[in-house]
Amino acid sequence: MGNTFGLFVTIAIQVIGGLCLFLFGMNLMGDSLEKTAGMKMQRIIESLTGNLLKGVLVGALVTAVIQSSSATTVMVVGFVSAGIMTLKQAAGIIMGANIGTTITAHILRLNDVSSDNFFLSFFKPDNLMFVLIIIGMLLIFLSKSQTKKESGGIFIGLSLIFAGMMFMSDGLNSIDKSVFETLFAFCANMPLLGILIGAVVTAMIQSSSASVGILQAVASTGAITLGGTIPIILGQNIGTCITALLSSMGATKTAKKASVLHLTFNILGTVLFCIALFFVCPYVVPGWNNLMNASVNSGSIADFHTIFNVTTTVILFPFAGLLVKLIGGSSKEEKSDARKTSRLLDDRFLHSPAIAIGQSKNVVISMLKLAKKNILLSEAAVLEKNADAMSEIKLIERNVDTMESELSSYLGKITDKPLSETENRQTMGYISMVSDIERISDHASNMSDIAKMMIEDNQKLSKSGIRELHNMFLAIYDLLDTTLEAIQTNDLAVASQIEPKEQVIDLFKSTFRRKHMGRLAKKKCTAESGIAYLEVVNNLERVADHCSNVGVAIIQIHSEEKLFNSHEYLEVESIRRTQEYSRIYNDFMAKYYTPLMKTEE
């Protein structure tokens, strides 16, 4: 009795330990794959259009990268909730995710390799896992490139997956085969039981790839049949929907429909396969019962998993639009969802830092567009005494403040996640930019207050002062456009144009101070209006300073620097000695400064 109990404990520890190693390896490989290809994945998703077929391809590719259809559908729920993606686009990605998730099972079919041939035996998991971990460790410890170090995690994760499979297989092979034969015979005779088992196990570990891998380990015993395996695989595809369903709680109605759509696809696919395999094929396919009683291996399971998802997608693809309408998703309804900051910065995206950072970038761009609009309105407020512009500036300023608060908090959450060096620099860069962009909007609010004061005190600017401020506003608009383009494109060449343009704005300030003193001496303006004039000039010059800080942050995202100190960077004299710097400076001077200086007062 004691020996039996001890054997049971030993087998249990080996199987559970192997499972833990397997799941950890999957997690490590998925995270490393995402860090290596995260930004490419973001660009792929951003390129999505209304083309349903393109959505399927995107879903398959992204899921193959992050090794989890659950993670992909959670991101889809977030995109739909934010109003970035329509429900029909989500349908395509969900279909593709179901296909992309099958790649793991095909990797694990290497467990079937048993040849004594040297070349083929090299791919046996018990040999390959050592080769993979050696490659991974060499990349991590010897490579200077952060990308290559992250690639090392991919190899180590895959090695741990094979090691976990091997331990699970060895432990399961120690169990009497009759146990598995009995269990899977029940599943074959009672398909609903098998579907339920597959769904529950997958829902518990929230990964169909992992649950299929466990099934492949059980297949190594040689005691399970195709008839007993099929219902479990069908159930696994239903169970994987639980993550998206849980994630949709608290989301918009349309986002909830995206998770229901995922569940609907997989249930419909399961129903179709059950009808075909258990009610049609036994009567029309010769030797069907013998086929269903045949034992399966890892490769057979991988093949059926892929056949199920590809076939389901092919059958349901033409009806995707109809299914979207049946669950209540219309294009008009989807597009009416407000793209609020709180939706763009959805916590669901934190599962994939690359996506979360991409969403943060979108909010940064929206913030700068609003700040620029405020600067445009501030010119109307100051030079035209436009009361409506003053009211709108205050409204936009409140919105920018809210965005700044929410984005700062969200970026803080991103820093708590495991980030690659590139992702860390991007996050720190956006943290640096947020406060500068918020201050740009603040300066517009300041100028609105100045305009209000001028109206109350009946102050007027001289014609020369108005002409000078208008030209300075034009130069600021140009600088803001350059800054916006630099963020949108993440282009070093564009970011490098900001500082020389900012230096011209500094020249505006010093020149205007001198010209103002001359007008004051000649009594061409009053001291009170002169104070207002100089305050506007100072605020515009500070706007240029904040643009300069944003430019430095973009440049440092591309560098190896981890701290974003724009003042130290700008003190490096060498950046102002390049021919390109001088060219941009001179061109900006010729466009805005020189013509103004030639104008007679």
pTM score, two decimals?
0.72
| pLDDT score, position 40 | 62
**Which is nearest to 37 in space by CA: 16, 64, 59?**
64
Domain end position, chosen among 286, 313, 335 = 335
Pick from 41-50, 109-118, 447-456, 493-502: least confident: 41-50
Give the Cα separation of 136 and 67 in Å (integer). Answer: 18
Contact 105, 310 (CB under 8 A): no
What b/e string do you get for 171-196 counting C-beta neighbours within 10 Å, with b at 16 or more? bbeebeeeebbebbeebbeebebbbb
250 and 229, same domain (yes or no) = yes
Domain end position, chosen among 335, 364, 387 = 335
| Residues facing 225 on adjacent strands | 295
Give the Cα separation of 435 and 366 in Å (integer). Answer: 14
Pick from 50-54, 113-117, 201-205, 550-554: least confident: 113-117
CA 49 to chain centre: 17
Decide if pLDDT at 478 tops 90: yes
| Between 129 and 40, residue with greater pLDDT | 129
Give the Cα separation of 552 and 502 in Å (integer). Answer: 12
442 and 495, same domain (yes or no) = yes
**Which is nearest to 235 in space by CA: 205, 206, 270?**
270
**Residue 372 falls inside a structural domain:** yes
**Residue 10 falls inside a structural domain:** no
Give the Cα separation of 139 and 127 in Å (integer). Answer: 19
Q: Specify the 3-state DSSP secondary structure of 225.
A: strand
Give the Cα separation of 388 and 395 in Å (integer). Answer: 11
Decide if pLDDT at 385 tops 50: yes
pLDDT digits (tens, 9 = 90+) for 398-438: 999 999 999 999 999 999 888 878 888 889 999 999 999 99
| Between 169 and 100, residue with greater pLDDT | 100
**Tokens read off for 166:** 């091997």
Decide if pLDDT at 210 tops 70: yes
Taking CA atoms, 120 is separated from 124, 300, 340, 479, in Å, by: 7, 19, 55, 62
pLDDT band at 338 (very low <50, low <70, confident <90, very high): very low
Give the Cα separation of 247 and 41 in Å (integer). Answer: 21
Provide, rounded to the nearest whole percent, the portion of the chain with pLDDT above 90: 23
Give the Cα separation of 427 and 422 in Å (integer). Answer: 9
41 and 155, same domain (yes or no) = yes
Taking CA atoms, 392 is separated from 405, 470, 528, in Å, by: 20, 20, 26
Give the Cα separation of 217 and 74 in Å (integer). Answer: 28
Contact 45, 62 (CB under 8 A): yes
436 and 541, same domain (yes or no) = yes
**Tokens read off for 233:** 């695989």
Residue 348, amino acid? R
CA 433 to chain centre: 19
| pLDDT score, position 473 | 93
261 and 371, same domain (yes or no) = no
Average pLDDT of 29-57? 68
| pLDDT score, position 311 | 93
**Residue 362 falls inside a structural domain:** yes
Give the Cα separation of 488 and 114 in Å (integer). Answer: 53
Residue 172, amino acid? L
Decide if pLDDT at 474 tops 90: yes
**Residue 20 falls inside a structural domain:** no
375 and 330, same domain (yes or no) = no
455 and 404, same domain (yes or no) = yes
Decide if pLDDT at 8 tops 90: no
Taking CA atoms, 182 is separated from 225, 264, 422, 590, in Å, by: 11, 32, 52, 87
Number of domains observed in the structure of the chain: 2
329 and 358, same domain (yes or no) = no
Average pLDDT of 567-588? 72
Contact 75, 351 (CB under 8 A): yes
Pick from 310-319, 351-360, 367-376: least confident: 351-360
498 and 558, same domain (yes or no) = yes
**Tokens read off for 555:** 């440049």
244 and 281, same domain (yes or no) = yes
Residue 12, amino acid? A
Write the DSSP string, 478-543: HHHHHHHHHHHHT-HHHHTTHHHHHHHHHHHHHHHHHHHHHHHHTTSS-HHHHHHHHHHHHHHHHH
**Residue 15 falls inside a structural domain:** no
**Residue 17 falls inside a structural domain:** no
Contact 425, 562 (CB under 8 A): yes
Mean of the per-residue pLDDT values of the chain? 81
Contact 351, 288 (CB under 8 A): no
Do you know the residue count of the chain? Answer: 601
**Which is nearest to 341 in space by CA: 281, 411, 394, 283?**
411
| Between 52 and 401, residue with greater pLDDT | 401
Taking CA atoms, 319 is separated from 229, 265, 309, 313, 324, in Å, by: 29, 10, 16, 10, 9
**Residue 5 falls inside a structural domain:** no
Give the Cα separation of 465 and 520 in Å (integer). Answer: 11
Provide, rounded to the nearest whole percent, the portion of the chain with pLDDT above 70: 82
| pLDDT score, position 142 | 82
**Which is nearest to 91 in space by CA: 348, 321, 254?**
321
Alpha-carbon dihedral of residues 144, 147, 148, 154, nearest 10 degrees?
140
Phi, psi of 294 (to 5 degrees): -75, 145
Decide if pLDDT at 527 tops 70: no
Decide if pLDDT at 332 tops 60: no
320 and 422, same domain (yes or no) = no
Report the range out of 82-96, 218-232, 543-557, 559-573 with the highest average pLDDT.
543-557
**Residue 1 falls inside a structural domain:** no
Helices vs. strands in the chain: H and E counts, helices first: 30, 0
Decide if pLDDT at 45 tops 80: no
Structural domain containing residue 380: 345-598
427 and 302, same domain (yes or no) = no
CATH number at residue 578: 1.20.58.220
Domain end position, chosen among 278, 304, 335 = 335
pLDDT band at 44 (very low <50, low <70, confident <90, very high): low
